[in-house]
Amino acid sequence: GAVVSQHPSWVICKSGTSVKIECRSLDFQATTMFWYRQFPKQSLMLMATSNEGSKATYEQGVEKDKFLINHASLTLSTLTVTSAHPEDSSFYICSARAVAKNIQYFGAGTRLSVL
Amino acid sequence: RKEVEQDPGPFNVPEGATVAFNCTYSNSASQSFFWYRQDCRKEPKLLMSVYSSGNEDGRFTAQLNRASQYISLLIRDSKLSDSATYLCVVNTPWGNDYKLSFGAGTTVTVRA
C-alpha cells in the first residue's frame, strides 16, 4: 500500500531553535499534503494544507510565519517550526493525498519537545 | 460547535465483550465517513470506511445515519489488541475541496 515517510520521529530542542520536519510520499505522487497537530487527549487539528508549487493555506489561528511549509515537489513537503517554544511541543503528523484519489495516507508523526 | 464530537470514554471491557460507541458531525454536506484507529503515540490508521447502508469488516460493524448525522462503531468479540483510541473522521467541504475533520477519539481498553 501507499506509504508516507515522516522524519524525524522525535525531536528534543532548546527554546528558540528551529525544527524542520519532512514528509515524503514514497510510492505515489501527492498533489496535496496536510499538516496536523495533536495535543494529548485531543483530536488532530489541521494546521495547513499545501499544494505542490503553491503557497500553503493555513487554518485560522495558525501563524504562517511561525510554521513554514514548503511543498516543492509532488513527493516532498516540509514543515519548519521557527523559534520553537515549549508551547509548540506537540505531536505533528503529515498526510498526503494521492492524485485523483480521495484517500489520505498518514506519516508516523513527529513528537516535538521544546525545553 | 465542534465539527465532529465523540464520547471520549474510556470504555473498559473484558475480552470477548461487545462494545459500541458513536459520534455526531455538524456539517450536513459531509460526503464520506471513516473510523480510524490510533494507538498511543502513533499515527491514525484507517480502520474502515462507513457507508450509508452500514458495513461490516470482520468483528467491526459501522453504521451511518445521515438524517441524524450520527455514526457508530460496534466491536464484537473484543480482543486485547483492540485496545486503542478510535477516531471518527468526516470528510467535510472546505472551499472547493474537502478536508478530514477528526473527533477527539473514544478510548477502548480490553482487559483479560
Q: What are phi and psi of A49, to 5 degrees?
A: -120, 135
C-alpha angle B42-B63-B20 in degrees, rounded to nearest 5: 60
Do A79 and A94 contact (CB within 8 A), yes or no? yes
What does the pLDDT look like over B1-39, one tens digit per residue?
788 999 888 999 999 999 999 999 999 999 899 999 999
Q: What is the pLDDT of residue A2?
A: 59
Distance, in Å, from the CA atom of B64 to the CA atom of A63, rounded to the nearest integer, reads 36
Q: What is the pLDDT of residue A100?
A: 64
The residues with which B32 forms a beta bridge, in sequence order, are: B91
Q: Name which of A34, A45, A93 is nearest B43 (Cβ-Cβ).
A: A93
Q: What is the pLDDT of residue B71?
A: 97
Distance, in Å, from the CA atom of B65 to the CA atom of A30, rounded to the nearest integer, reads 32
What does the pLDDT look like over B56-70, one tens digit per residue?
999 999 999 999 999
Q: Which residue does chain A place closest to B106, by CA atoms?
A: A41
Q: Name which of B43, B97, B102 is nearest A109 (Cβ-Cβ).
A: B43
Name the B residues in 9-68 with CB < 8 Å from any A CB. 32, 41-45
Contact assignment for A93 to B98 by CB distance below 8 Å: no
Residue numbers in B near A34 (CB within 8 A): 99-100
Q: What is the pLDDT of residue A92?
A: 97
Helix (H) or strand (E) holding B110: strand B106-111
Whether the per-residue pLDDT at A1 is higher than 70: the answer is no
Cα(first)–Cα(last) distance of chain B, in Å? 38
Q: What is the pLDDT of residue B92?
A: 86
